[in-house]
Structure 1
């Protein structure tokens, strides 16, 4: 009996020990990959593509397609976003974050509505600007947004005035001023609308920051759109009703195309969705550098698609502004740290794959060369550029 009892106790000890063995780890590891099914580079690429597409799309509709009703276009975007967020809230989990937000009628009126007002004003001013300025110059002016945010933060008492930080951001301002002096097609009213849009956007961002400083109001961009889109659509719609609706006809809509306007709204909404995934998959460094890269690509795209003239003085000023922007966002110590990591990683990659590294260097050099040649082509070979655009169907032909 004692031996049987010992056998029973032994088998019991073995059975209790089994759960501690790593028998479930392989299954857990198999369930993890779907969470990171796509490389972060894909999210970055999608965001840059959608963000650039929205800007170029809006410029095409408002200027070259002659649908000169920016408030109506903004209202259409917000109405579509309202409809889509309501659908997603009821059919997906993308907007489950709203369940943690303690939203009441009083909070909505005192917080969401004022922020929505500045959001509407920034969108209206931003779209009106496309009627007067080139995409390239607009992107250069947008480099001053962090400066406006900083002043708004100080003005609302959310941070003490710091002269050292002020000196850092002054580099951005100097660069943009130089770029503005180099702008050939400078239109004062468009310049003022863009500055107004930057000020309204900076004020909105600081108000959102103050609202989200409480843990009970943490919202991702898509949840924010869920709350802000309806009130902004109403505000913009009322404004358009008095300013633009009396002058718009169905001929204007048909000239652009109903499907074009629908696609425009879809792309604008997908941009907001991509931001949610981008924030979750990348770091602040990646987002800062991607934003700079996107602005540069937009300047180049504006030059190549619409023959936008960009002078050497503008290039010089914009380069200063971008350097100042990166330095302000990251700081000198972080830049040195990241540069050291990048150099070590590049050296290790070269040691492991020397042939591939040479191919990357050669490809980057060729890309830069062709971009420069393509950007200068309208100046020294206008007939050839017109011929190429004619072969492509002339959809993007036009003069800024």
Structure 2
């Protein structure tokens, strides 16, 4: 017979329950680790494959190349949905208005991030591109602060300043630094930062399954990529008979398309299985590994000045993350104090007077947490219970008042 014990609230907990919780936690951790390793390996391999196709293979059409991965992502998710392999849990939620507000921005930003991110390989080396990616925390903080979703914190600002200085030093040490390439990289980083905020909101709050998330978001990204292709690449592709390059080595492009799908699905999986912080830390570790491979295996030149700048950027990144941890802890403490005060002040009943009637109202507080852009936010609702015979909704206590 399993042993039982009572916790502080008087609830009985047996050994089987504890074991089930521990097993569930272990499974979740193992799943997160497997997804993270698979994402890091697949995305790194895709970086080198895209660089090979764009620069060495002569397929200088970055948006067409990344659209192959997005097309395969949508086709595979479409087959899984239509055949019943994956259930659409949020089919009733997706209206035209909701799609326009939530998914179209993700599609536009995803297309910009992918398109400009691929164009960079025509101007900069793989190693230097990964160094520039160390500036993503600075870009992310700027975007969040501009949107009113981020508060400035001393340690965080210090980390961002160190990252920025390190990135400038790395750029200064680049042998073949292209201003156009750096501009495209920064544009891609800004688009990615905003896209990740939307992803965190849509996936974290609404609990989309991985395949359903791709099924919903891929068409929007593909549509905006198509617009970019028609505007920037189609005439050149037709004039230079770019399809002949695809026909000469179709296996390269099939692998690139499938790996594009794999990176998309694994990215969504990592975000859901871990957190935005873990994803960013792993991204920096992956970038460092890609730089090492680019230098040792593919012979990308890296100067001492670049290494110093990149090391400074990594140091600034960890200062930034430490500041974020401190800031989140401080904000959580303030929020807990605020909620405690609300609970204390609302414990006593109060009177509402109006229309020559007096209603005795019992007030209660309900805290409703939800995730917005990776941050835990609380809605405090004051629920009022009044005279059921009154016609006015506010007198009956219907609805809730957000504080």
Does the alignment reach a TM-score above 0.5?
Answer: yes
Matches within 5 A, 1:358-373: none
**Structure 1 residue 40: Cα displacement:** 5.5
**Structure 1 residue 273: Cα displacement:** 2.7
Q: Is residue 174 of structure 2 the alignment partner of residue 180 of structure 1?
A: no
Structure 1 CA distance for aligned equivalents of residues 79 and 171 of structure 2: 43
Q: Is the strand fraction higher in 1 or 2?
A: 2
Aligned to 2:247, which of 254, 260, 269?
A: 254
**Structure 1 residue 138: Cα displacement:** 0.5
**Structure 1 residue 309: Cα displacement:** 0.6
Aligned to 2:109, which of 102, 118, 123?
A: 118
**Structure 1 residue 284: Cα displacement:** 6.4
Q: Which residue of 2 aligns with 1:327?
A: 319
Q: Which residue of 1 aligns with 2:160?
A: 169
**Structure 1 residue 326: Cα displacement:** 2.1
- 1:308 and 1:23, CA in 2 relative to 1: closer, same or farther beyond 3 A? closer
- 1:143 and 1:32, CA in 2 relative to 1: closer, same or farther beyond 3 A? closer
Residue by residue over 1:110-135, the C-alpha shift from the partner in whole angstroms, topping out at 9 and shown as x without a partner, is 22213321221111110000111011
Matches within 5 A, 1:1-400: 35=27, 41-91=33-83, 98=90, 102-209=93-200, 211-212=201-202, 215=205, 217-219=206-208, 222-248=211-237, 249=241, 250-255=243-248, 257-279=249-271, 287-331=279-323
Structure 1 CA distance for aligned equivalents of residues 25 and 207 of structure 2: 28
Structure 1 CA distance for aligned equivalents of residues 156 and 45 of structure 2: 33
- 1:146 and 1:251, CA in 2 relative to 1: closer, same or farther beyond 3 A? same
Structure 1 CA distance for aligned equivalents of residues 207 and 66 of structure 2: 26
Structure 1 CA distance for aligned equivalents of residues 230 and 272 of structure 2: 39
- When normalised by structure 1's length, the TM-score is 0.68
Structure 1 CA distance for aligned equivalents of residues 44 and 236 of structure 2: 29
CA contact under 8 A between 2:139 and 2:189: conserved in structure 1? yes
Unaligned runs of 5+ in 1: 1-21, 335-400
CA contact under 8 A between 1:212 and 1:219: conserved in structure 2? yes
User: Relative CO higher for 1 or 2, CA cutoff 8 Å, sep ≥ 6?
Assistant: 1
* Counterpart secondary structure, 2:48: helix
How many pairs does the alignment contain?
309
CA contact under 8 A between 2:156 and 2:319: conserved in structure 1? no
